[in-house]
Amino acid sequence: MSTICNDLQKLNSILDSFIVQKTIPALATMLGEPVLHFLKNTQEIPIVNLDVIISNLEEMNAMSAVYVKCDGDLHMGALLYLPENKSKMLASQLLGRSISDELEILTTSSISEIGNILTASIINAISLDTGYKICSSVPGYAVEFFRTLLEAVVSDFGHESDTLIVSHVEFYGVTSNISICMLLIQNPSEVKKFMM
């Protein structure tokens, strides 16, 4: 592992401040309720040991997920996910009404849009703080087992390093108890860009 522990702690603190400034207010507005978050320690993880970030719950359940890749002065991937059986509940909360089977397509659209907005909130905060020019891809939506989703994301980054920097964020709607997770993934070489 090449990234200094102190740099990872600083990165964790910097990302947390961006999430508090921009992401929490955006999500609270979308959900219409207060939102809490928990940013687990940012870690450098060997690509061959992805099990470190896959819990038993995630291993056993299909996930609704949105992936947004960010390029430009900073390269980062954001994978937003929640258990597939909870995605209709989140979409209903966002739309303010129940989603019938005929309107199931709204679930995919709602989840994709929330992934896009939350990623944009973090990227905008980074850009404002650093001056970096960063462009986001169109959100990609999938329903898959978490390991499959993670392997697809890692394939975007694995050619530059044998480790990845992973920040795991959990968001909770205080009233609805909706839980959404997000992984922010980057190569170790990107970490120093946050320290400038």
Domain ranges of the chain: 5-194
Q: How confident is the model at residue 158 (pLDDT cuts 50, 70, 90)?
A: low
pLDDT at residue 184, as a whole number? 93
Distance CA 75, CA 108 (A): 26
pLDDT at residue 48, as a whole number? 77
Q: b/e per residue, 74-92, with b = 16+ CB within 10 A?
A: bbbbbbbbbbbebbbbbbb
According to CATH, the superfamily of the domain at 5-194 is CheC-like (3.40.1550.10)
pTM over 0.85: yes
